[in-house]
Structure 1
C-alpha cells in the first residue's frame, strides 16, 4: 500500500504533515479509507487511517475489526476504549499540525472530534488528491473490477431466461441480484434498476409491482462488487411486439456508444468523448436533447468513482482509468433505451470489460 500512499501525496497541491481518513457510522464510510489501507472486508466504523508523506500508514482500529485489519500492510493499532483510540491518534500525530482530510468523505462530527483531541490542528482538503489517485487503477484494482464485470456480463446475458410477460419489475431486480451473488459477487454495486415500458424513460427508476406487457421494453441497470470493487452495466431488451420507433431509438443509442468507445484513448479530453455520442443522438431531429445525462462516470470502489464523460468535464484520459460509457434516449410517456458498458483506458485505446450481448437481435424478449 506504500505505492498508493505515495501516489496520494504526489497529487497534493499543498504540503501537509499527514492525511487522516476517518470513517463515520454506516453508511458514512469513506471509500478512500479502504483504498489507502487495501482492505477487502470489514466496516471499520469510526476507525482511522493516518498516512505519512514518506509512504507509511497507520490503521487505528477497533477490536471488532482486528481480524479484517490484518489484511492491511499498514501498521495496526487496536483499541478497546475511547481513550485508547484518542491516545493512539494523538501519539501518531504528535508532530503533525497541518492535516489533510477528505472533505468528500469525512463527517462534520469527525472533524470536530479531531479538533478536540489534537491541539492547534489545521485542516486542508486532500479530497482532490485522493480522487485523482483513485482514478488511475493499479493491477490489483483492475483485476477485481474485471471479475465484477465478468459476473455482471454473465447475468445480463441470462436475463432472457427469466424475462417474460407477467413478471414484475421487483421480481427481475431480485433475480438479478441473486444471480450475481450466486456466481461470486459479494453484493450489488447499487440498488438494481428494473424498468418496464414507460418507466424506462426515468433513468433512476425504482422497481415496483408493474408487470411486463407485450408492448413493453425492459431496461436493467445493475452491477456487483468483488472485493469492494464495482461493475455497472445496462441492457435494454426489445418488446415482444417491437415497433419501428424502438428499433430506431435502439440502433441510434448503440451507434452512439460505438462511436464514443472508438474515441477513447489516452490524451483525449473527456468532454470530447461525450460530444461524439451526444452529437450523433442530436443529429436525428426527433431525438435531439433526449440524452439527459452525462455519457459516463468513473468506476472503482464507488460506482461513481470520480471523473465523468460530460459536456463540462475537462479530464484528460490516462492509461488505467476505468469508466462507464452509457448513452441513452428517453421519451416521456413512451420509454427509453440505455446501453452501458465499462471500459479500461489502455495505452493505445480502450478495452471493453463488460461483454454481454447488445446487438438488437440478441436482446429481444421471448
Structure 2
C-alpha cells in the first residue's frame, strides 16, 4: 500500500468540475490581478472566521510582514516568539530589522509557554507572536492578559491553523492581527502561494489593504512604503471553491486525527499529540514524538509510508540567527522535541485501511533498538 502524505491530487479530482469552471472563468475574463474573485473570497473568509476584516495577500510570510508593518514595527524593536516553528515566523521579524526574542515551548502543546513570556519583556518589546503550531492555537487567554498588562500587540502566526478555535473563537479572530497561509498543503490550500490577514480594527485593516499594493491610497499615490503582496485572482478562484467544502474537510481531519489516536494510544514508545480542552486543532499535521526517529522513518519508508519532520532544528540554533547569541541548551524543550518529532500522513481523505496500515507499521517499530546514548528525554507531566 502506497500512502499519499497530503493527497492534493485526490482533492482536486473531488472538486475538479467546480475548480476548472472557476479557473476558466478567470481566464475568460483575464482579470488576473485583484479580480472580483478576490473580493468574493475575502467576504467568505470574513463570514467563516467572524473577523470584521479579512485581507488576502501573496503568501503566509507576507501576511506576517503586513501585520508588523501595519503595527509600525521598526529596527531595534523586539518581538517575543517561539524558536520551534517554521523559519518565516522569526525571519520576517529580522527582515524588518527588529529582534526576535525566543521563549521556550510548552511540553504538551509545542506552542509558546506563556509562563516564560513576562521575564523576556523589555522596554523594546512591541509585540508577542504566538504560533498555532500543527493547527492548534496557543493559550490566548494567558497571552492576551500579558499583552494587556504591558501594552503589547499580539500577532498570531496561524499559517497552519485556519479553522481552529480557542474558547469557541477561530484563531483568525484573536489577537490584534491574525495571519494564515494558503500554501497547497495547508488545511485550506490554493494551487500556489497565498495568504491572508485578519483583524477587527478598521484602521489596521485599511492600512494593510494599502500596504499590500505598495502603500497606495489611490492609483500611483503612495501613503506608505509598502510591498507587492496581492493574492492573484486564479488562486482566489480556487479558494472560493475549496472554502465552500472546508467545513466538511475540517471535520474529516478531526476524524482522521481521532482514528490515529485510538489506533496508537497504547504504543508506549510514542508521545501522541495533545490538544488543550480550550482549543480545537485544524490538524495541519499529526505529529508524534518517537525514539530513534531516523530508524523509524527509514522503516516506514520501506513500507511506502511517507513521514516528515516539522521541524528538525529550532530557530535559535540556525546559522542565520547566530547573531542573536543563543546557544544549545537555552531552550531545552524545543531542542528535545525537535529531535523526536515526526509527522504522519494527514489529510481529510485517508481511509480506515490506510490508517490501520500506517498504525500497525508504526507500532511494529517498537522492536527497533535505541542507538547507544539516545533516549526519549522528556515525559509529559
Given the two structures, how large is their TM-score scaled by the length of structure 2?
A: 0.26
More strand by share: 1
More helix by share: 2
